[in-house]
Amino acid sequence: MGNFSLSGQIKLVLKSLNLTQTGLATKLGLSQGVISEFTSGSREPSKEFLLGLPKLGISLDWFLTGEGEMLLSPMPAKTGYKIPLLNQRVSCGDGANWENEQNIESYIDVFSLIPQYKLGRLFALSVQGNSMIGAGIRSGDYVLFCTGDDQFLDDDIYVFSLDGEVFCKQLEFDKISKKIKIYSIRVADLEKAELLTTLNVEDTDFTDRFHIFGRVFSWLHPNFGDE
């Protein structure tokens, strides 16, 4: 593999996805000038670039090594874990013997609730720290997020990068003023969320500083029940 280079890999990605440098930059939330530097080899691909490749269906292992398949295999249409859906209503008091099989009216396949086109864009990260504990996310939890191209979405918890670091925080989008507010949630009361910083989308360095990886739709406590 004497001709292997990351700049050459980027050219293969552009050809495979039928994208221009500008098109690739738009999808990854980067500037065209940055993509041009990566493609020419004058600058090493950034963390934001590398983490953005899987959402385009590109294997990160292939990109970094040149081995294996370029495109990620789509997630099987039927996969997941079925959870019993109880016919016990929460308004019915204690609900004696609620675990009895007679109380199970059907089963929910968790991943069947997610549109199929999104299944291949699901990722998970392990978070550290307690800045989101008020939302129920504890240090060591796995957050599950779905990648997407939209930068202005509904206010919610997102995984994103800012100045080269990756965070899991609450984002608030102001479409009128074109600003994004970043919050930590240390208590359950959202009105007491801590404003960390405000970003102006129209700043010239915005796309270099900030990139959304995906919207958090769930999180898991890996040691649930062990405490």
The answer on 126 and 111 residing in a single domain is no
Residues 177 and 195 in one domain: yes
Q: What's the pLDDT score for residue 44?
A: 87
Residues 37 and 91 grouped into a single domain: no
The answer to the question of residue 100 being in a domain is yes
31 within domain boundaries: yes
Neighbours of 117 (CB within 10 A): 8
Task: Select the more confidently predicted residue: 188 or 11.
Answer: 11
Cβ-contact 206, 199 below 8 angstroms: yes
Residues 216 and 125 both lie in one domain: yes
Task: Give the pLDDT confidence score for residue 144 in this predicted structure.
Answer: 84
- Domain membership of residue 101 (yes or no) is yes
- Mark whether 210 and 140 lie in a shared domain: yes
182 has pLDDT over 90: yes
Confidence of residue 77 (pLDDT cuts 50, 70, 90): very low
Mean pLDDT, range 200-210, rounded to an integer: 89
Into how many domains does the chain fold?
3
Same domain, 137 and 212: yes
pLDDT over threshold 80, residue 66: yes
Share of the chain above pLDDT 90, in %: 22
| pLDDT tier at 118, thresholds 50, 70, 90 | low
C-alpha–C-alpha distance, residues 210 and 164, integer Å: 8
pLDDT interval class at 79 (50, 70, 90): low
49 within a domain of the structure (yes/no): yes
Identify whether residues 90 and 157 lie together within a single domain: no
Q: What does the pLDDT look like over 22-61, one tens digit per residue?
A: 989 888 889 999 999 999 989 888 888 988 888 888 888 8
The length of the chain is 227
**pLDDT band at 157, cuts 50/70/90?**
very high
- In this structure, the answer to whether residues 130 and 216 fall within a common structural domain is yes
149 & 196 share domain: yes
Same domain, 126 and 149: yes
**Residue-number span of the structural domain to which 107 is assigned:** 82-116
Residue 225 lies in a domain: no
What digits encode the pLDDT tens for the residues 141-155?
Answer: 888 887 765 545 789
pLDDT at residue 217 is higher than 60: yes
Identify whether 131 is part of a domain: yes
Q: Is 77 a domain residue? A: no
Domain with residue 200: its CATH number is: 2.10.109.10
Average pLDDT over residues 78-101: 53
* Separation of alpha carbons 56 and 17, rounded Å: 9
Same domain as 109, residue 149: no
Top-confidence residue, 81 or 42 = 42
Tell me how far CA of residue 197 lies from CA of 26, 125, 143, 158, in angstroms: 24, 23, 22, 15
How far, CA to CA in Å, does 196 sit from each of 30, 38, 183, 193?
23, 31, 5, 9
